[in-house]
C-alpha cells in the first residue's frame, strides 16, 4: 500500500477542492491518501509516507506564512517524492517556485507541479466591487487536478518526469506590494494596527473563530484584540457581520495599489470577474 500525505492551507475552500481532486486521482485500491488543512489541523509526521503534496493559495504574491512555517519545520526529506499545487485569483508570481525550491532545499524529489485559479476573496478587491475568477476552480480545472493526481501516481511507479520551468517573479509594482506586506511589517507594524469600532462590535466572536492562526483573543469586554501571528488574510475584517473591524490594508495609503490591481485585472481578457457588493460580512453578486 502506497501512502500519500497532502498538506495544504485553505481559507475559502478552493484549495481544499483541488486537494480532494488530486487525492481522487492519486487514490486507488493500493494508494491511501491523507489530507490535512493547516487552517484547522496539525499535520502528522512524515513517518510511513511515500509521497508528500503541498497545496497553497497565493497570498500577496507569496505563499501564506503558515505554509512557509510548515515547510521550514520539515525534517530532511532524503529523496521523498513531493509535489506542489497552487491556487490563485489573478497573478500568481513565483509563489509556487518558492515552495518548490524550499522542498528541494529539504531534499525532496519533485514529482509534479500544478496550478489552478480560485475565486479571489481578497477584501481589497471585494470592497471595490470585484470578485476575480469567481467560478473557479471550474469543473474542467478539477478534472485536470484529478488527471494530475494520476500522473503523479504514474511517476511514483517509475514514469519519467520533466520538471516544468520555474515561474518568474511578479512585476515591479506587485513586488513592491509584496515587500510592503512582508512578514516583518506584518509582525511589527500591521498586526498592531487592527482596530475594532466599539460602537459596532457585538462581541459575537466570529473573527476569533475564523482566524487561522488563533491570533485574535478577547479583551475584557469580549471584543477582539490581535496578536503578532497575523497572515494578513483579512478574513476577520471581511466576515465581520457589523463591519466593526478595520485593518491597515483598508487605509488610504493602500488605495492606489488596490485601484491599480483592480484596473489591470479587470481589463485583462484572460481573467474572469463578477461585479459584487460586499456588505456586513457578505459578498453578493450583482445581476449582470
**97/215 Cα distance (integer angstroms):** 28
**88 touches ligand FMN (CB under 6 A):** yes
Q: What is the dihedral of CA 90, 96, 97, 101, to 10 degrees?
A: 160
Q: Which of residues 5-24 bind ligand FMN (CB under 6 A)?
A: 10-15
DSSP reduced 3-state for 235 = helix
Q: How far is CA 23 from CA 151, 218, 237, in A?
A: 12, 38, 32
Site for ligand FMN, residues 112 to 131, rule: CB under 6 A = 118-122
Judged by beta carbon, residue 77 or residue 271, the one nearer ligand FMN is: 271
Instruction: Give yes or no for residue 190 binding ligand FMN (CB under 6 A).
Output: no
Q: Is 97 in the site for ligand FMN (CB under 6 A)?
A: no
Q: Name which of 120, 117, 8, 7 is nearest 56 in CA terms.
A: 8
**3-class SS at 86?**
strand
- Give the nearest distance from C-beta 137 to ligand FMN in angstroms: 8
Nearer to ligand FMN, 120 or 153 (CB): 120
Give me the least distance between CB of 265 and ligand FMN, in Å please. Answer: 9
**Residue 75's CB: how many other CB atoms inside 10 A?**
11
Site string for ligand FMN, 253-282 (x = CB under 6 A): ------------------------------
Q: Residue 91 or 226: which CB sits closer to ligand FMN?
A: 91
- 61 within 8 A of 91, measured Cβ to Cβ: yes
Give the per-residue contact string, 193-232, with ligand FMN (x = CB under 6 A; - = no): ---------------------------------------x
275: its cell numbers: 461585479
Question: Contact, 4 vs 33, CB < 8 A?
Answer: yes
Which of 65, 83, 85, 91 touches ligand FMN (CB under 6 A)?
91
Residue 136: CB minimum distance to ligand FMN, A: 7
The least CB distance from residue 174 to ligand FMN, in Å, is 7
Least Å from the CB of residue 195 to ligand FMN: 18
99 near ligand FMN, judged by CB under 6 A = no
All three cell numbers of 138: 471550474
Q: Is 218 helix (H, G, I), strand (E, B) or coil?
A: strand
Burial of 140 (0-12, 13-18, 19+ CB in 10 A): exposed
Residues that bind ligand FMN (CB under 6 A): 10-15, 57-61, 87-92, 118-122, 232-234
Amino acid at each position: 500500500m502506497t501512502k500519500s500525505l497532502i498538506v495544504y492551507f485553505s481559507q475559502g475552500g478552493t484549495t481544499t477542492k483541488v486537494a480532494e481532486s488530486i487525492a481522487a486521482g492519486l487514490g486507488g485500491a493500493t494508494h491511501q491518501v491523507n489530507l490535512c488543512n493547516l487552517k484547522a489541523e496539525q499535520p502528522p509526521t512524515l513517518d510511513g509516507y511515500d509521497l508528500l503534496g503541498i497545496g497553497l493559495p497565493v497570498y500577496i504574491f507569496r505563499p501564506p506564512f503558515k505554509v512557509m512555517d510548515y515547510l521550514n519545520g520539515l525534517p530532511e526529506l532524503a529523496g521523498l517524492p513531493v509535489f506542489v499545487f497552487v491556487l490563485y485569483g489573478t497573478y500568481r508570481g513565483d509563489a509556487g517556485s518558492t515552495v518548490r525550491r524550499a522542498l528541494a532545499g529539504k531534499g525532496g524529489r519533485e514529482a509534479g507541479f500544478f496550478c489552478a485559479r480560485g475565486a479571489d476573496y481578497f477584501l481589497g478587491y471585494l470592497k471595490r466591487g470585484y470578485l476575480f475568477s469567481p467560478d473557479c476552480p471550474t469543473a474542467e480545472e478539477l478534472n485536470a487536478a484529478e488527471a494530475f493526481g494520476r500522473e503523479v501516481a504514474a511517476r511514483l511507479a517509475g514514469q519519467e518526469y520533466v520538471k516544468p520551468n520555474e515561474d518568474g517573479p511578479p512585476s515591479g509594482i506587485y513586488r513592491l506590494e509584496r515587500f510592503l506586506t512582508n512578514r516583518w511589517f506584518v509582525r511589527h507594524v500591521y498586526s498592531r494596527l487592527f482596530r475594532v469600532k466599539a460602537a459596532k462590535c457585538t462581541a459575537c466572536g466570529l473573527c476569533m473563530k475564523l482566524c487561522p492562526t488563533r491570533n485574535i483573543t478577547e479583551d475584557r469586554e469580549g471584543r477582539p484584540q490581535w496578536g503578532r501571528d497575523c497572515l494578513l488574510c483579512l478574513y476577520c475584517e471581511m466576515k465581520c457581520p457589523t463591519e466593526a473591524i478595520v485593518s491597515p490594508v483598508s487605509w488610504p495609503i493602500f488605495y492606489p495599489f488596490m485601484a491599480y490591481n483592480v484596473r489591470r485585472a479587470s481589463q485583462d481578457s484572460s481573467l474572469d470577474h463578477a461585479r459584487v457588493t460586499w456588505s456586513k460580512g457578505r459578498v453578493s453578486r450583482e445581476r449582470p
